[in-house]
Amino acid sequence: MGNVHEDTQSAGGGAAPESGAPASVSGPRPEGPGAHEPSGLAQLTTKQLAWRSFRRHRLAVASAVALILLTLACIVLPFTTHYTYSGLDFGHEFEGPGSRHWLGTDVLGRDTFTRLFYAGRISLSVALAATVSAGILGTIIGALAGFYGGAADAALMRTADLFLAVPYLVVLLIVSTVFDAGLAGVVITLILFLWMPTARTVRGVFLSLREKEFVEAARAAGASNLRIMFSQMLPNAMGPVIVSVTLLIGNAILAESALSFLGFGIQPPTPTWGNLLADARYSFFEAAWPMVMPGLAIAITVLLVNLLGDGLRDALDPYQRVIQPTKWAPSGSEHDTGRTTS
């Protein structure tokens, strides 16, 4: 993930818990999961606080683990089967799950299990590449808009609105029809249509940070604008950035698979979850497994990513946390923490 340089002062950021945080837990911290005593909390760094808050979100931790396992499975499992993703097994077409083919075979006798994980490699890497690049692009644009404000801000944000209003699929479809660009084309077009949420988030944070004293101090010390933006302010925005990028992964997977599903984008010899689904679509009367499995893979991955994103938001993004409990409910609902599912 985009583990951008950590600032020593580390005012409000934090790394992605699944990558950086386990290391940071090794520091001294009071035991007990629900330690509410302020004296204990005050000794923790923001990163530790975030990790602690994330860890309490059991579903999010579970989805992080599941996602890592899924990724590992996509990397490792294709090496372990003796089928290839396009190899045919004559006489064993339309087979249900069994010992020969764990998840059955499709119309041509191709092994669903093998194809599923091969496709996962492509689908996940496309989504990850597009999301990380879009996150970086969005961060830069949002930082510029939020830092400079005024006309630059207006122009950049109107552009973002414009991109949001364009049905991304239409552009993806046209681009992949006209250029036959394959993988790279899909990734680039995805980037073009994924940067906006991150840009909006970063802009929001930068607008509020712009007037803070530490920015003024940095300027007084003679720091250049770029330095202030990317080494002073950005670490404070990393939390929201990580959250928005995580949530984008789901969108990227959906967009890519929708495109492949329609028969455009990444083409059949290269398997992706979307084109496996499309492939199996017209034969699901005979064999449902080759269709259900990639669909499930997409659905589960998106669900896990969204759960992870929600957990990360609670941990890393204090701006979106709703603290005030509503007093309106007649039944008088009391609750302990300020954590709400948005």
Partner 1 sequence: MLRHVLRRLLISLLLLLLLSFITYVVFVNLADPLRARGSGLNPQQASRLRQVLGLDRKIFFRYFSWGSHFLRGNWGVSFRNTPVAPDIRDALANSLVLGGSALLVSFLVGSTLGLLSAVRQHSRLDRLVATATFLGLSIPGFFLALLLQLFFAITLPRWLHLGGPVFPVTGLMTPGVQGFHPLDRLWHLALPVAVLSTYFTAAFMRFTRASALEVLQADYIRTARAKGLHPLRLLLWHAFPNALIPVATQLALDIGAIASGFIVIERVFEWPGMGTFFIVALDRRDWPQVLPWLVVAAAFIIALNLLADIVYVALDPRIRYR
| Shortest distance, position 324 Cβ to partner 1, whole Å | 7
Q: Which of 8, 39, 99, 324 binds partner 1 (CB under 8 A)?
A: 324
| Shortest distance, position 49 Cβ to partner 1, whole Å | 24
Q: In terms of C-beta density within 10 A (0-12 exposed, 13-18 middle, 19 or more buried), how is residue 91 classed?
A: exposed
- Residue 303: closest CA among 240, 254, 241: 254
180 Cβ contact partners less than 8 Å away, ≥ 6 residues apart: none
Q: Which amino acid is at 267?
A: Q
Nearer to partner 1, 83 or 289 (CB): 289
Give the burial string for 259-296 (b: 16+ CB within 10 Å, else e).
Answer: bbbeebbbeeebbbbbbbbbbbeebeeebebbbbbbbe
Site for partner 1 in 291-320 (CB under 8 A): 291-292, 295-296, 298-299, 302-303, 306-307, 310
CA distances from 337 to 6, 12, 30, 59, 340 (A): 30, 21, 19, 17, 8
Site for partner 1 in 222-281 (CB under 8 A): 250, 254-255, 257-258, 261-264, 277, 281
Given the rule CB under 8 A, which of 72-80, 120-128, 217-225, 321-329 is the region that contacts partner 1? 321-329
Site for partner 1 in 134-193 (CB under 8 A): 161, 163-170, 173-174, 177-178, 193
- Residue 275: closest CA among 54, 119, 136: 119
- CA Rg value for the chain: 23
Binding mask 5-34 for partner 1 (x = CB under 8 A): ------------------------------
The site for partner 1 (CB under 8 A) is made up of 161, 163-170, 173-174, 177-178, 193, 250, 254-255, 257-258, 261-264, 277, 281, 284-285, 288, 291-292, 295-296, 298-299, 302-303, 306-307, 310, 322, 324-331, 333, 335, 340-342
